[in-house]
Structures are given as C-alpha cells and as structure tokens.
Structure 1
Amino acid sequence: MAIACAVLVLAITSLSAFIRLSRAGLGCEPWPQCQAQVLLEAKQGAVTAPGGAVAAARIAHRITAVGALLLVVAMLMTAYASSPPLARQGRLVVALLGLAVFLAVLGRMTADSRLPAVVLGNLLAGLAMFAVSWRLVAATRPAGGATPPDTAWVRLALALLAVQIMLGGLVSAAHAGSSCPGLAGCDLGAASWQAFNPWHEPDPGAAAGAGALLHMAHRAAGILTAIVVGTVGFAAWRRGHRAGALAVGLVVLELAAGAALVARSTPLALALAHNVLAALLLAAVASLLPDRRPPHGG
C-alpha cells in the first residue's frame, strides 16, 4: 500500500503542476507572446472553458486525490490495528493524513486564487507528502546494513532543497520564467523585489524583466543546492546507500532540465519534468535520513 500511495501522490503533484502551468499560459500558441494575454484575461476574470487536456487533468486529479485519501485512511487503520501496533509507520501515515487534509482545505478555499502563497502551499505540501510516502515505503522494508550518513548534512541538503523549491514555485507563480531569456544572465534594470512577496499577485502588464532578481536567486540557489546535495549523495553512496547514487543522478538531471528550460524558452513538457525531478530528488534525499526504527524492526 505504501508504494501505491507514493505513486498516487506523485501523480497528484504532477497533475497539479500541469494544471497550474497551463493556467499560467505555458503551452499556449504562439509562445511566448500569448502568455501575457492569457494572464491578463485570467486577471480580468474572463471565463474561458479549459482545454481538453486541462479538463481531463482536473478530473484525473480529483479521482487520484480521493483514491490517495482512501488509501491513507486504510493504511492508518492497518498500522494501528496490527498487533503490536506499527507505531512508527502509523506516525508517518498520520503526517500523510494531515498533509492531505491541508491540501484539500487549501484547494477548497482558494480554488480561483492566483496568489504565489497559494501556489507555494500546494507545491510544498504536495512534495512533502510524496517525501513522507517514500519514507513510509522505506519503513516497510528490512533495515539495511549501510553506515548511516551524517544527519546534519542530510538535513542541510533537505533545507536547501526546500528553499530552492520555494524559489522555483515563486518563479512559476510570479511568471518570472521569461525574465531571463538566456543562460548568460539577466537584465536587472526592470527587476523588482516585489516578485519575492508570496502575497503579491503578479501583474500581467509588468515589465518583462520584473522577476529577474527572483530568477537569478533561483539559479544561484540551484548551484549551491546541487553542490551540497551532490556531495551528500556521493558520500552516502560510498557508504552503501543506493538512494545516494539516485540523488546524484537526479541532481544532474535537474540541472540539465533547468538549463534546458531557459535555453528553450520554458516549454510545458520540460517544466513538468523539472517539477517531477524535484519531487523525486526531495524523496531521495529524505530517504537518507537515519532510520530510527527499534532493533527488532518494529
């Protein structure tokens, strides 16, 4: 059930990203000129029927979310009905249930909101739910004999990943992806600190480079995060943790996806891949945290 839950949560976060990015104009034609018009119509409250792909994604998102919630409730009942109760797994499932309820309430109360804070809430809670699901998968397997990695460094890597994901969410929510059209750098002449404010709704009519500072911060934090996560992953790999090798590989792929996003003017497919890779990377690093299960495995 834990593996099924992780798969469902990854599907939910991916569908949510597709809906969010499509609403932001990614994938419209002719790109990127059409994005400003899409955002302006949305801000003015123009009601437009969603495209077939977006409508299907919304239906799939709701069905998958209900399925995941039912599975979490079933796992919670199983964990505490066992003899003896699976307390450690139960705590992880309780965390999953709390995150699921938070996402459900947030989605219900902010269905039409375009505030970056709402985007961040959905993004961070969804990715946290996937990371906890992956920890639950690890908790159901026998403990390995690999030497535990340094907890402080793993926590630092997780903290940097969280900050980087927040910056990425802000870049997406503030529509700052086109503020730096090239890999060489950004024109900071029209840049505004307002892009860092999650409670400020982006203005579709703002200058093209308004989000340049935010975009550059995301790039700089990405390099720092890649160095730390890559180092932690490589050290864990040498100690026998396969998740360490996975983290190193995912860091390389994530950097490549980020560079390709800029070089190819933010295509929808690459933006979705960037989101999925972030979820997988967060889960891989979270799985490097030392397993504190009792010696008997319960």
Structure 2
Amino acid sequence: MTLLRTMAIACAVLVLAITSLSAFIRLSRAGLGCEPWPQCQAQLLREAKQGAAPAPAGAVAAARIAHRITAVGALLLVIAMVLAAYGSAPPLVRKGRLVVVLLGLAVFLAVLGRMTADSRLPAVVLANLLAGLAMFAVSWRLVAATRPAGAARTLDAGWVRLALALLVVQIMLGGLVSAGHAGASCPRLAGCDLGTASWQAFNPWQEPDPGAGVGAGALVHMAHRAAGILTAIVVAALGVAASRRGHRAGALLPALVVLELGAGIGLIARSTPLALALVHNVLAALLLATVASLLPERRWPRAACRRAA
C-alpha cells in the first residue's frame, strides 16, 4: 500500500507536468503570446489552414521533446503500478481498478497523440485535455484511496458528483474557448462582442474559421463565464462542508476557487497572456483532482495498511 501510494504521487506529478506541457504547446500553436495580439492569432490560423504554418519556435520544440519523454516515463510507471497492485499479497483489487483506469487513459492519450498529431479540431483538443486532466484526477484519487483511514466524516456522494460534473462542463467550455481561438471574443469584463457571434463555436467537429471575425466565439466565452460562477459557488460550498467534516482537502477548495477566478479575470484584463493561461490550466487540474479525492470510499484501517505494506 505504501509503495503504491508513493508511485501514485509520482504519477500525479508526472501527469501534471504532461498536461502543462501539452497546454503550452497547444496555446502556443493557437497564437497566445504572439505579437501584435490579437491580429497575429488570425494570421497564424490562416497560415496553418493553407499548409504554410511556420516551424515551431525553440521553446515549443523543446516542450514537445519533454512532453514525449515525460509521457513515456508516466506510462512505464503506470505499468509498474499495475504490477504492484495485483502482485501484492493480498492483491489490492480496489486500488488496482483505479490503476487500470490510469493505464487505459495513458494508452488512449498515446493513440490519440499518434493519430491526430496535426489536427486542429476542437474535438481532438477536448479529448486530449479531458483525458489528461482525468488521468491526473485518478492519480490523486489513488493517493487519497491509499491513505490510512482517518476520522473524517463521509460526504454526500451526490454533491461531490455534482461538483465534478460542473467542473467537467466548465473545463470543456474552456477547451472550446481555447480550441476555437475565442480568447479575444470578450476583451472586456463587462461584456462580449456579439456582432459576429455564432452557435457553430459550440460544434467541436468544426475547425475554427479565420474569416469568421474576432467575436465568433463570444457565445462560448459567455457560457464559460456563466458556468464558472455557478461552478465556483458549488465547489467552494463543497470545500467548506468537507472542511467541517474533517477533510483536509476541503480546506484547499475555496482557495483554489479564488485563485482560478482571479486567473480568469486576469486573462481578460491582460489580453490573454500565455503564462496566465497556463496557470489557469494548472488550477483547473488541481480543482478537479481535489474534488475527485473527496468521493466517498471505504478506507483501509491502519493495521491493514501496515500488513499490506
């Protein structure tokens, strides 16, 4: 049990690095950080659709190499975790199921990356984003599941699942904003440019059109903002309830919610800087993983953990 928990922590760290590198590559390809902003973003998209996209910058090329190396390391670690879970005496079947889910997600991401390396479909971006964050959440869930039983009282599973569902929807909307290059659709905190807004921005199977206008993704951006407020309220309330019941992870949720809201506001106020967009992505991963760790599960007693270790 102790070995599996140590490997789960290492896996969570590796997966967080992978998702951060993937976000850096994706957002850099989308034009974040280019000059002059936002005109350069549309120009980059036109060049890509015409097959004349420039070679990746040195930082992006280095990030791709680091991403591949880290992904291979994470896959090998997950395989070792499967052997540790089912090779122990007695086998850690419940924990092994989480490890098998990790292995399935890792294989899915590897196949997806191989088959859709140059795809700009929002559906591919969403699949990559959600699978990567799910892998991080499952890794952290495994860390929580291998911790000896404490005195914390069980939370209502329905409320935890509701918070998870809202977070997933919010992450999907954020992915559509990113994949649809809609960052400049709402340049002000007070409102969005709806002049050229289109419902097609919600279609993940349609590539963004560089001629659709800056405000084409305004509706997605507005939905992301509205869902963000609702999600923040539910997740923060869940954190307060979890903290009162003795869950250490619950105390983190209100702080993470405030930081995530601050990062989102900063993205709008400062015209979507790349560094802040990456922070926004990392905070979303931490929120998802923290809420997932609060799902009720029967804990191992301390004595059993020592015997299993």
What is the TM-score when the length of structure 1 is the normalising length?
A: 0.98
Matched, 1:161 2:190: no
Counterpart of 1:192 in structure 2 is 198
- Picking from 259, 262, 268, the partner of 1:256 is 262
Indicate if the aligned counterparts of 1:88 and 1:293 stay in contact, CA closer than 8 A: no
For residues 41 and 208 of structure 2, what CA distance do their matches in structure 1 show? 13
For structure 2, the residue ranges without an aligned partner over 5 or more in a row are 1-6
Match of 1:68 in 2: 74
Is 2:212 the partner of 1:206? Answer: yes
Identity percentage of aligned residues: 84
Aligned mates of 2:28, 2:300 — CA distance in 1: 46
Match of 1:118 in 2: 124
What is the number of equivalent residue pairs in this alignment? 298
Match of 1:181 in 2: 187
**What SS is found at the alignment partner of 1:113?**
coil
Q: TM-score when scaled to structure 2?
A: 0.94
Give RMSD over aligned pairs. Answer: 1.1
Is the 8 Å Cα contact of residues 230 and 248 (structure 1) preserved in structure 2?
A: yes
Mean Cα deviation higher: 36-45 or 90-99:
36-45
Partner of residue 135, structure 1:
141
Partner residue in 1 for 2:248: 242
For residue 278 of structure 2, what is the amino acid of its counterpart? L
Q: Give the aligned partner of residue 287 of structure 1.
A: 293
Secondary structure in structure 2 of the residue aligned to 1:105:
helix
CA distance in 1, matches of 2:56, 2:70: 19
3-state SS, counterpart of residue 208 of structure 2:
coil
Deviations 1:21-75 (A, max 9, x none): 0000001122222111111111111142211100000000000000000000001
Secondary structure at the counterpart of residue 224 of structure 2: helix
Counterpart code for 1:227: I
In 2: Cα distance, 1:176 partner to 1:79 partner: 44
Instruction: Out of 22-31 and 279-288, give the one that drifted further.
Output: 22-31
Q: CA deviation at 1:81?
A: 0.7
| Secondary structure at 1:187 match in 2 | coil
Aligned residue number for residue 171 of structure 1: 177
SS of residue matched to 1:111: coil
Alpha-carbon distance in 2 for matches of 1:280, 1:270: 15
2:3 is aligned to none
Amino acid across the alignment from 2:14 = L
Q: Secondary structure at the match of 2:214?
A: coil
1:272 to 278, 288, 299: 278
Q: Distance in 2 between matches of 1:190 and 1:34?
A: 19
The answer on whether the counterparts of 2:78 and 2:99 sit within 8 Å (CA) in structure 1 is yes
**8 Å contact from structure 2 (residues 144, 293) kept in 1:** yes
1:84-123 mapped onto 2 (5 Å cutoff):
84-123=90-129
Q: Which amino acid aligns with 2:133?
A: L
Q: C-alpha separation between the residues in 2 aligned to 1:112 and 1:265?
A: 27
Secondary structure of the corresponding residue to residue 71 of structure 1: helix
How far residue 284 of structure 1 moved from its aligned partner, in angstroms, is 0.5
C-alpha separation in 1, matches of 2:61 and 2:52: 17
* Deviations, residues 56-104 of structure 1 (Å, cap 9, x unaligned): 0000000000000000000101111100001112111100000000101
Aligned to 2:87: 81
Deviations 1:252-272 (CA, angstroms, capped at 9, x unpaired): 100000000011110000100
Deviations 1:198-252 (A, max 9, x none): 0011011211111111100000000000000010111101111111111111011
CA contact (8 A) 1:233 1:244 kept: yes
User: Residues 294 and 143 of structure 1: is their aligned pair in 2 closer, same or farther, counting only changes over 3 Å?
Assistant: closer
**More divergent stretch after superposition (143-152 vs 167-176):** 143-152
Cα displacement string for residues 128-179 of structure 1 (whole angstroms, at most 9, x for unaligned residues): 0000000111122211110111111010000000000000000000111100
Return 120-129 or 84-93, whichever deviates more: 84-93
Query: CA separation in 2, counterparts of 1:24 and 1:229?
Result: 30
Which one-letter code corresponds to 1:263 in the other structure? A
Partner-residue secondary structure (3-state), 2:257: helix
- TM-superposed deviation, 1:190: 1.5
Find the aligned partners of 1:134 and 1:234 in 2 and give their Cα distance: 20
The answer to whether residue 47 in structure 2 is matched with residue 35 in structure 1 is no
